[in-house]
Amino acid sequence: MDWFSLKRGLAEDIVKRLFKLNAILFGEFTLTSGLKSPYYIDLRVIPSYPDDFINVCNAYYEILANEVGSFDRIAGVPTAGIPFATMLAYRFRKPLIYVRKEVERGHGRGRIVEGVLNVNDRVVIIDDVATTGESLMLTAQSIVSMGGRVEDAVVLVDREQGAEANLMKMGVKLHSLVKISDAAKILLDHGLINDELYNKILSYVRGKLIG
C-alpha cells in the first residue's frame, strides 16, 4: 500500500477513535492561544486508553518513518506531546529530550532543555495539535539556542490556523496525520456530525485562514 492510501486509512481510523473517546468535543471553547473555537481536541485523555494510545502512537510512527526520514533525537512539547514522544523515542531507539516552559532557577541545573542535546543534533518535535504553532516555535527556538537543529515537527491534528506557514518561516516543516477540515469530513461521512456542524467548522477554519 502506498503512503498516501495508508495515511488516509490511518486518519479515518484515528479520527473515529478520537470522537468515540470524547477527545474531539463540540461547543464553545477558548484555546490556550486565546482564540475562540467551536470544537476542542483533547489528546491528553488518550494515554488513559492503552489500546487507543498504541494506535495513535502507531500513526505518529508512520509519519516519522514515511515523511521525516533520519533524525538524532525526539523532543516532546510539554505536556500533551511528551507521552507520544516518549513512546516514539522508545520505538525508534532515539534519545528523548523535552523543553521546559520556563527555567526553574535557584535549584537543579537550571536548564531549559532537559536531556542530552549535542551540537548539530537533528531534533524532530512532537506535539498533539498545532494551532498557530506558537508552542512548536518556542520549542524549536530553545533547541536551536542550545546548538540543535530542527527541521521537522509532527502533530496528530493541524487546526489550520497558521502553524504550517509560521513554522515554515523558521525552516521547520509541519507534518500532521490529518487537517481539521479533513477530520470534519470523515466525521460527516460516518454520520457522526451533521451538515450544520460540518459547515460551521469549515467556516471557522476559512475565517481564521483569511483573517
Cell of 177: 496525520
pLDDT in tens, 3-25: 999 999 999 999 999 999 999 99
**pLDDT tops 80 at residue 35:** no
Residue 118 makes CB contacts below 8 A (sequence gap 6+) with 72, 147, 148
Question: Mean of the pLDDT values across residues 68-76?
Answer: 96
| pLDDT (0 to 100) of residue 32 | 74
Q: Could you tell me which of 150, 149, 179, 181 has the C-alpha nearest to residue 163?
A: 179
| pLDDT (0 to 100) of residue 31 | 79
Question: pLDDT band at residue 70, thresholds of 50, 70 and 90?
Answer: very high
Q: Could you tell me which of 149, 135, 154, 123 has the C-alpha nearest to residue 57?
A: 154
Question: Mean of the pLDDT values across residues 171-188?
Answer: 98
**pLDDT tops 70 at residue 99:** yes
CA distance 23 to 159: 14
Give the DSSP per-residue string, 138-187. HHHHHHHHTT-EEEEEEEEEE--SSHHHHHHTTT-EEEEEEEHHHHHHHH
| pLDDT (0 to 100) of residue 135 | 93
User: Which pTM value belongs to this model?
Assistant: 0.92
Taking all residues of the chain, what is their mean pLDDT, rounded to a whole number? 92
Find the radius of gyration of the CA atoms of the chain.
17
| pLDDT (0 to 100) of residue 100 | 81
CATH class belonging to 3-210: alpha beta
**pLDDT tops 60 at residue 134:** yes
What residue segments make up the domains of the chain, in order of their start? Answer: 3-210
Question: Mean of the pLDDT values across residues 72-87?
Answer: 96
Question: Mean of the pLDDT values across residues 94-115?
Answer: 73
